[in-house]
Amino acid sequence: MREQAGLYAGEMEHELLAAAGGGDADAAHRLGRLHARRGDQEGARHWWERAAVTGNVDSAYNLGVWHERHGTFDEALRWYEMAAGLGDAEAAANLATLLLERRGDVAAARCWFERAAQRGSGPAARRLALLCERDGETRTARAWHREAALRGDAASAFDLGCLAYESGEDTEALHWWEIAARGGHTDAACATGLLLQATGDPEGAEAFFRLAAAAEQPAAASHLGGMALARRDLTSARAWFERAADAGRVGDQRMAGFVCVELGDAAAASHWFGRAAASGDAEAAYNFGLLLIAEDGDLAAGQQWFRQAALGGHHRAARELGTLLSITGNAEEGERWLAEAPPPGLGRVCDTALVARAELAATITGRHGDAPLDAGKLVEILGTWDQITRDLPDHAGAVAWLGDLAVLPESAIDRLSSARATLLRPGGAPWPGPTEVEEALATARLLRRRLTPESCGG
């Protein structure tokens, strides 16, 4: 509801009644506010209607709010439209919102959002930008996000950065993400850190990760843990990974376990490996099994976790399980696990630029509540290509060379190569969809199995 500053100073109710009775719309509006303050909603509506029919825009707006709160949406639409027609930007934005959310009338909503945005409404500019994004009108969406961002909307500044990044404009993306981050948008701070990491500025990346972590962003804590680990600052790495792990991030629970092993804290390592393993993490289950055997001599528990990890596709766990079964009197089953162990996994990708690009793709594809691409799968795609082509003297013929060497269709390797190129250099093609990611991942795993059968990790 709206109220003018000093609305009732020095005025008596009977004076307002006399003025309103004589047709004074402003006095009728003030009486409406007086009744609203007393909790007399019907009295407020009465006087606002008297004022609105004579052209008082604030009363028309207040009636729109009144009817929206009371669930009489047709009346709310009528009064908002009256106020919007008199030039009220906020009424136009509210009208557009009701048309969109209550009637599903996108065309009319867009019209009123645009009128509101043109009159200076930042929230309307943002809603209009999101509608344009949904309809694939990227250029128009960027223009309206810019309007909203320039009026202080950090979410639109973040989205503007995402649209720039998708178009291959790293510098523009960084500009808007920094603005959003300094406006308190934690995802933007994390994205800024990732892009700086991807482009070789670890000090700048760390500053923005710290900004996001200060606002309790668990992904930022995870990245700070990785940076501390790379410096061999194990105490700091443990603190950051545990912060991220406490937020339920399974991968960080596993990493906290690894760091605790290096620090010699077997009890804490067991805690974190156990939590991650209980969530289905095969690498954590394998390491939990190793720890139980090494620290407690518990072969039965070790066998249990090796089995879980092996069933989850962990190569070394299957081989450890096979060996353990063979020496504990289950030779036949042990031989089966040794003979039919899952193929080796990629292991940990240490190239932070590749990891950052994968994380950025996941962040951007999931920013409006859509299912994001799986960052772990994207890292595996990028890491596999990097691993198997690292020593090639000429990358121009990599697709044909890999196809011949691995005896795979050149078309499959070409799709893998295209997905990789989009993840590393967005803008040339749309993001790969979930099906394309799965196809590229399957090809990557076949390449590793055929070209590097024993040289990878788990």
Total count of domains within the chain:
3
Same domain, 313 and 407: no
Query: For residue 301, what are its two tokens?
Result: 């528990």
Q: Which residue has the higher pLDDT, 15 or 142?
A: 142
Query: At residue 25, does pLDDT exceed 60?
Result: yes
Query: At residue 299, does pLDDT exceed 80?
Result: yes
Domain boundary among 86, 119, 142: 142
pLDDT (0 to 100) of residue 10: 42
- Percentage of the chain modeled with pLDDT above 70: 94
Least confident interval from 55-69, 84-98, 201-215: 55-69
pLDDT (0 to 100) of residue 397: 84
- Give me the helices (H) in 183-265, please: 186-198, 202-214, 218-230, 234-246, 250-262
pLDDT (0 to 100) of residue 26: 77
Domain boundary among 289, 318, 340: 340
Q: Which domain holds residue 81?
A: 13-142
pLDDT (0 to 100) of residue 8: 46
Round the average pLDDT of the chain to a whole number and report it: 91
Same domain, 380 and 332: no
In this structure, which long-range contacts are made by residues 78-87, counting pairs with CB atoms below 8 Å and at least 24 apart in sequence?
79/52, 82/52, 83/57, 83/58, 84/112, 84/115, 84/116, 86/55, 86/57, 86/60, 87/57, 87/119
Query: At residue 449, does pLDDT exceed 80?
Result: yes
Please write the tens of the pLDDT for every residue from 308-358: 999 999 999 999 999 999 998 899 999 999 999 888 887 776 689 999 999
Same domain, 332 and 425: no
Please write the tens of the pLDDT for every residue from 393-435: 777 788 988 888 889 999 999 999 999 999 999 999 999 999 9
At 7, the pLDDT band (50, 70, 90 cuts) reads very low
Domain boundary among 142, 157, 189: 142
Note the pTM of the prediction, 2 decimals: 0.86
